[in-house]
Amino acid sequence: MRPFRIETADNVHIQMYEYSQEGEPILFLHYSRGTASVWNHMITAFTEKYRVLTMDLRGHGRSSQPESGYDIATLAEDIRIVLDACEIDRVHLVGSSLGAFVGTCFASRYPERVITLVNSEGALLNHAGEGGRYQESKQELIERYFSREESSFPSPADFFSHMQETWLPWNEARAKSLEGYEPRALPDGGYGYITKLSTSAQVFAAIYDTRLQDWYETITCPVLFLPAHQEGDLDLKLAFLKEVEPLLPVSKTVVIPETSHAMMFDHAEEFSQEILQFYAEHSHQ
C-alpha cells in the first residue's frame, strides 16, 4: 500500500492510498465519519485485476478538516482533482453512504469519466420531499443528531476500548478499519472521533437539500444499487430506485440478505462478488 497526499486549489490536503497499479482503476469512497481504512478488509478481492485506490474525504481521516466547504459538489470536485493528479481518465467508483452521494454527484458532473458506479446504502433515497426519508426539517434533524457534546475519552487507548466494546459484532474487519486511526485531541484534554460533529452537520445539511433525480438523469454509466436488507426504509428505497431506473442507461439493484448499513464489515465477500459480477457484465459498455 502506497500512501500519498494531493493538495486542492483551496489548500486542502487529500490523503490517498494506492494498493495496486494494474488494470482499470477503482476508487473506493467511505461513509460519513469513516476513513479510507473501512475498505481494508475487502479490497484484496480487487487488487489482482484492478488498480485500487482509496481516499479520506475532506474532513475525514488524514485529510484536512477546514471549518467549511462540505457541500457535495465540493467533495465531488476533490475526486476530479485526485483523478487528474493520478492521471486517471476514467474510473470505477464504489461508495458507501456519504461516499455514494459524492460518487453520484461526480458521475453526474463528469459522466465521461466514470466507467461504473456502485452505491451501497447511499444516494438511494432523497432525504426530503415527497417519498423522502424524513418528515422533519433540516434544522430539526441537525439539532437532534449533531447538537450534542463530542464524545470524549481520557486516552486513545480508552477510545479504542470503547469502539471494541460498542461496535458490534466486533470482528477482524472492524479491527482492520481502525488500523492507523489517530483519535482527535479535544479541547477538554480528551480524545474522540477524527471528524468533528460540526463537519458532519454540514455534510448532512448538504445531503438533505439534494434531489437525486437531478443527478441520475445526467449519468451515463451502468449503476449498481446495493440497499441494505436490515437498515430500514428498504421499501422506500426500492420504490425510489424504480423511479430513477428509467433515467439510467443500465442499472441493477441487489439486496444482499442480512446486510446492514456498513456491509463491508460483515458481508465483505458477498459485497465484493456482487461488484465483480457487475463489472464482468457491464464495465465495457
Closest by CA to 70, choosing from 89, 52, 57, 83, is 57
- Phi then psi for residue 175, to 5 deg, are -60, -45
Tens of pLDDT along 220-239?
Answer: 999 999 999 999 899 999 99
What is the predicted pLDDT for the residue at 232?
Answer: 86
What is the predicted pLDDT for the residue at 285?
Answer: 41
Cα distances (Å, whole numbers) of residue 126 to 21, 74, 161, 236, 241: 36, 19, 36, 10, 11
pTM for the whole structure:
0.97
Pair 260, 230: CB distance under 8 Å: yes
The domains located in the chain, with CATH, are 2-145+198-282 (3.40.50.1820), 151-192 (no CATH)
Tens of pLDDT along 124-178?
Answer: 999 999 889 999 999 999 999 999 999 999 999 999 999 999 999 999 999 999 9
Per-position b or e across 101-113, b if 16+ CB within 10 A of its CB: bbbbbbbbbbeeb
- Phi then psi for residue 153, to 5 deg, are -125, 145
Report the relative pairing of strands 184-185 and 51-55 from DSSP bridges.
unpaired
CA 239, chain centre distance (Å): 22
Pair 24, 50: CB distance under 8 Å: yes
Residue with cell 463489472: 279
What is the predicted pLDDT for the residue at 127?
Answer: 96
- Phi then psi for residue 174, to 5 deg, are -65, -40
Element (H, E) at 4: strand 2-7
The contacts of residue 28 (CB under 8 Å, 6+ apart) are: 36, 39, 43, 52, 53, 54, 55, 94, 95, 99
CA 238, chain centre distance (Å): 20
Low-confidence ranges of the chain (pLDDT < 50): 285
What is the predicted pLDDT for the residue at 283?
Answer: 65
What does the block give as the cell for 2? 502506497
What is the predicted pLDDT for the residue at 270?
Answer: 98
> Looking at residue 98, what DSSP letter applies?
H
As beta bridge partners, residue 29 has 55, 95
Residues 58 and 36: their CA atoms lie apart, in Å, by 11
Pair 206, 236: CB distance under 8 Å: no
